Structures are given as structure tokens and as C-alpha cells.
Amino acid sequence: MEKNCPYCQIGGETKVSWNPTKKYFCPMCEGIESDKPGSCSRCGMALERLPDLTGEPEEDTGQSDLLLRFRIGLVFAVPVFVIAMSEHIPGNPLMGILSRRVNYWLQMILSAPVVFWSGLPIFLRAWTALRHRATNMFTLISLGTGAAFLISVLAVLAPDVFPQSAKMDGHAQVYFESSAVIILLVLLGQVLEHRARNKTGSAIRALLGLTPRTASVIRDGVETETPIEKVKVGDRLRVRPGEKIPVDGILIEGNSSIDESMLTGEPIPNGKQPGDVLLSGTINQTGGFIMEARHVGSDTLLAQIVSLVSEAQRTKPPIQRLADRAASYFVPAVVAVSVITFLLWILIGGAAHFSHALLNAVSVLIIACPCALGLATPMSIMVGMGTGARMGILFRSAESLETLSQIKALVFDKTGTLTEGRPSLTDVFAVEPFNEEKLIQLAASIEQASEHPIAKAILQGAQERGVALLPVTDFKSETGRGIVGRVEDSKVIAGIPSLLDDYGIDVNLKDERIEIWRKEGKSVIFIGARGLWAGVIAISDPIKSGTFAAIGELRKQGIQLKMATGDNKITAQFVARQLGITDVASEIDPRRKNEIVKEMQKNGLKVAMAGDGINDSPALAQADVGIAMGTGTDIAMKSSDVTLVKGDLRGIVNAITLSHAVVKNIKQNLFLAFVYNTVAIPIAAGLLYPFFGLLMSPVIASAAMTCSSLSVITNALRLKNVFR
């Protein structure tokens, strides 16, 4: 199995296939996918294309076709509308040129292309839904426009089937202009929705736009401009000032300052030296350098971020269940209301009100908008996820985004979460017969196989002191306690005192130096070798600069804070006091962290857990929302619901702020959709006629329906400004 990225730790088992078999998905209906463009079989909306990093040009998902049908339909519909409206002009100037029969025939001929060609996608989407035993907004539109057109055709071809009382001036009425104009308005609404929905993916497209199309590759001493898709792992690449870094890799020659703000949300450039990690899409600001490609194509951090965001955008939060239940009954209910409207007008007003009955029934069908109801949640989710990605906040699913807004308690790991997670070796105390150099050699040699930040600190300390490493075998990690391995045919243990005690090694916990180091907030690692206590190593891990502000803001929000760490009590309390955290659990193993989360949940709290290490993974998985530091391990990220790319706790505050904004936005959208239909449908049925003599034209109903969908989309787009 492919290993995870050692820098960002996104990859391996958590990686999402970047070129899925199904390239298209419905933004409204979860689980609807296709390998080619088309429309959703359930709701009828045009399928959208998954993001692509291969350089392949985006395929048109139907917007240009809709626009063409609208434009051609407009050519035919305008004359129909003018002819129909001429009857309302005093003196009816067209009547002297065209007889009523010619007038009606002309309207029928001109409206037919609008209905049968321009409106074909509408009827096909309705038919597709019907085949799948579903109904959608296109069902209502098809019924309304189809009924108006067919009755009009019947009025032209067989006017005698209509009772005399249903005629005006002895002629059956036609509604060709209503059918034609409604279809045009629906097409226009679809085009506008396409354009508005395209804005929801602006954050992803912005990320995609970071990747350059070519790279300067040095092979056999020759530098050539190479397409990005042909760059291979191990290639040496030259990056000049102002250029974007093409792939993930390691700086090997030169130095520079790199703008990583698009991936991390951090505006301050990061200085880079040989050996430092470089990320695709970030911008080289100053010096030129040569790098080695380590991750290309879909394996880059940028590709993984886009993939994770795209997958998350296609999920549904629990709040969507309300809308789904309502939508499942909505269309049949609207059809029933339309039929009842027609019958009531006939029963109350008789055949003389046939025209009113028909138009009101059609208006009910047209004005009802399940599209707005269906768009309410997915549009907010898509914009919210994109906004989060822009800030370096990655949500695994829509459910995690919603749940985060309900969090009442937050449990923190210490090392790598509250602190930098990039500790440094500060002090060494060796016990005879070992000396400091040998102690560091043994400790660093066994730590070679560990991912823990402390291991990196010990290895860095050994490198700085020029200590050579020895091979290690039989390596074993005692999660939350330490590590064990064999170096020079001797068993070496590094960890907490109880781990050494398990191997029959006694340590002096009362040594004055150990107490002093712990009071200074340092982590003390006990080393055993050859069955003896070899000494201790002190590691200092400063608190992250953003932690103080984040803790203060979380406390203001009334969130209960708790630290849970495997580190010793003195060190844990030292860090906690600096941050003002009063609830601390120290010297605990992963099982106890998990139990702490469970206990808080049993007390009725929604609990989030923030961590970065393997030892945090059980608690991350148990928590209602697990939050992993992007600088942590792959297992931690796999167990989490939210990943902070930067690893800055201010990202938690931003994530909670965003979750509240998204949930609020969803509720606003659902409210708009429900209120619109609650008010609009009775008016379309003729509720105002007995009181004010007002009726709603099907054309006005169509415009109102389009506006309701656009209002939901526009409201969702406001989420792009949450952090401005």
C-alpha cells in the first residue's frame, strides 16, 4: 500500500481516487452520479463535473445548450406574445389584418418550436423522473405548460368540444403565449442558476488555478519546460522568483521565502532552507532554487485538499432530512392543489369561469418551486466547504460541519496541538556507565522509526551534535507510553517511567534535575538500555503563538475546555496554567482519553476532540467531531472529521464560526423556500380574487418561481464573506 505523505499526512488509506469512474454528480441529490453529462434522474438538475487536476478541459454540463434553446425560443415567443397581447390594445389593430382563426393558427405555429424544441429538456427531465418513480419541479412545469398548450391546440383544431359558456365572443380561448413565455422564463432561470451555482465552486477553482501547467525540469543536466502531468517523482525542478511551485517536494539547492497563504490561510511567508518541504501551488517570492519532486499529480497536498472538499460537498447534513421529507410529498400535494383549484373554480363559477379555472390551475403548478427547497441545503454546504478550504479548514462531511455548531465541550491533546509539535532537545542527563553522547545515540537510533514530534526533536538534536545513528530492529510502539527496540543487540526503551518498570528497570524519579525540567514545562523522556537506567532527555515544546487567542475566544463562546495528555502532571499543569485551562488530565493512555470523551458525552455534552498523534485517534473517532492538526499523523487525520491544514488552533475558532454561519444560512434558505410556497400557492390558486378581484398570470408565476430559486442561491453565496 502506498504510504501517506510524510509532510501533510494526507494519503494512503484516506486518499480519494482523483479520477473516479463517475465524473458527474448531482449537487442536490446524494448518490446520483454518472460518467457523462446529463440531468439528475431524481430532481432533474444538470449534473456537475467533479474537479480535475489533469489539465483536461472542463466539459460543458448543459449551460450553452440551454442558452441556445432560450435564444432561439425567444425569436419565436416574442411574436406569439405580441399577437396575444394585441387583443388587450384598444381597437385591436391586428384584428383588421388577421382574422381570429388566422391569429390562433399563427400563435400555434410559432409557439410549437418553443414548446417542442426549446422546452424539450424540461419535458425530458420530467419524464426521466417519472420513469424512476419520482417527481420534481420539472414535473410541475411540464404539467402546467403542457396542459395550457394542449388545450389551446384543441381550441384551434376542435373548438366545438368546448361549451358555449366557456367561449368568449363565440371563440374558445387559447393560451399559447403562457406556454411559450413560461418555458422561456424557466430556461432563463436555469441559465442563471448555472451561472450562480458556478460561483459556489470558486474556492476549489481558485485552488485548481494555483497549479502551473508546466515545470522547468532538469534531466541529465538539461533544463526543459515540461507539462506538469509529465513530471515524475525524483525529478529535479528549477523554481524562479515569482513562480508557483509545481509539485510537492524538498528544497535541495538555494533558499527562499514561500507564500503558502492559499493552503494554510497564513499570510506571512515562510522561509525555506535545503531539506524543507515545498507544497504545490504555493508561490516562490524571493530567491531561485532547485527542488526534488516527491509527490506529483493526485498525490500532492493541493490535489488531496480539492478531493476531500469535493467529496465533502456531495454529502448531506442531518438538517437536510427535513427538506427531503417535505420534498417527497411536495409535488404530489401541489398537483392535488392544482386539480382542486380547477374543480373549485368550475363548481363555484360554472363553465363561464373555465378560463380562470385553467389559468389558476396552471399558475399553481408553475409557481410551486421544489427546486428552491432542494437547493436550500446543498448550496450552503458547497459554499461553506469552499470557504473553509480557502481558510485551510477541511471538513470530511456535511454532517461534521453541522455538528460542530452544536459543540459544548472541547478536549485538547497537548503536544502538537496546544504546543508547536516541533520540540527541541534542550537537556541531557546520563547515568553511568553511559555518557551523554551514547545516551543520545541510543535514543536517536530507536526514535528513527517513530512519527512522534518528540522523536523528530531527538533526531534533530543528534544531528546537531554530530552523533551517528545505529540500526534498529524489533521496533515496537507502546502507544501513549513510549517505544521499544533493539540497538547493538541490546534492548532499548524510551518513554515514561512505567514503561521502563515493565522491563525491570528502576529509575530515580526524585532527581532534582527532573523536577526542575518538569516545572519549566519540559517533557522528560526516560531511557533504558542493557537492563539499566541510561538517563533522561528533556524536550522543550513551546506553546503555539495562536493558541492563546484561540483559547480565549473559545472560552468567550462558553465552550468547556479540557486538556488530556500522556505527558507528566507537572509539565501538563505548567502549560495549562499559561493558557488558563483548569481541567487537566495528565499521564493518561489513549484508552483513558477515549473514556474521558465518553464520560462527557454521557453528561449530555456534544464533544469535540483536537489532536495530532496516533495516541489521539481513539478519542478523535469517539468524539462527536474529531479535529486533527494537518501537521500530525495520518491515523489521526483518518480518525477525524475536520482537518486544520495549518495546525493552528485559531482554525478551530474559524471552523466553529463557519459552522454556525452555514447552519444559520441553511435555516434561512429553508425558511425562504417554505414561506415562499406557503404564500405563493394560495395566491396562485386565486385566494385574492374574492377580495380584490386579482388573479396571478402563469407568466408571473413562472417569474416568481425562478426568483425563489435565485434568492436561495444568492443567500448561500453570502457565506463567501464570513471571514471578511
What residues are annotated to the active site?
413
Report CA-CA distances (Å) from 666 to 27, 245, 671: 15, 37, 8
Q: How far apart are CA 439 and CA 535, in angstroms?
A: 7
Q: CA-to-CA distance for 547 and 628, rounded, in angstroms? A: 15
Query: Are the beta carbons of 633 and 612 closer than 8 angstroms?
Result: yes
Give 468-479 as a 3 state SS string. CCCCCEEEEEEC
Long-range (24+ apart) CB contacts under 8 A made by 598-604 are 598/622, 600/409, 600/411, 600/560, 600/562
User: Parallel, antiparallel, or unpaired for β 248-254 and 236-239?
Assistant: unpaired
CA distance 217 to 290: 10
- Amino acid identity, position 337: V
Q: How far apart are CA 232 and CA 229, in angstroms?
A: 8
Distances 6 to 280, 300, 452, 556, 630 between C-alpha atoms, Å: 15, 11, 12, 36, 11
Residue 288 class from Cβ within 10 Å (0-12 exposed, 13-18 middle, 19+ buried)?
middle
Q: Is the dihedral of CA 64, 65, 70, 71 positive or negative?
A: positive
Could you tell me the CA-to-CA distances from 637 to 160, 257, 343, 625, 650 in Å, in that order?
74, 28, 60, 12, 18
- What is the rounded CA–CA span in Å between residue 705 and residue 676? 9
Q: Which three cell numbers stand for residue 466?
A: 554530530
Residue 668 CB neighbour total at 10 angstroms: 16
Closest to 629 in 3D by CA, of 652, 660, 658: 652
In whole angstroms, what is the distance from residue 30 CA to residue 121 CA?
22
Whole-number Å distance between alpha carbons of 139 and 640 = 41
Cα dist from 293 to 190, 471, 631, whole Å: 44, 27, 20
Tracing cell 474559524 back to the chain, one arrives at 654
Find where cell 403562457 sits: 178
Cell of 477: 510502539
DSSP code at position 710:
H
In contact, 167 and 173? CB cutoff 8 Å: yes
What's the start-to-end Cα distance of the chain, in Å? 42
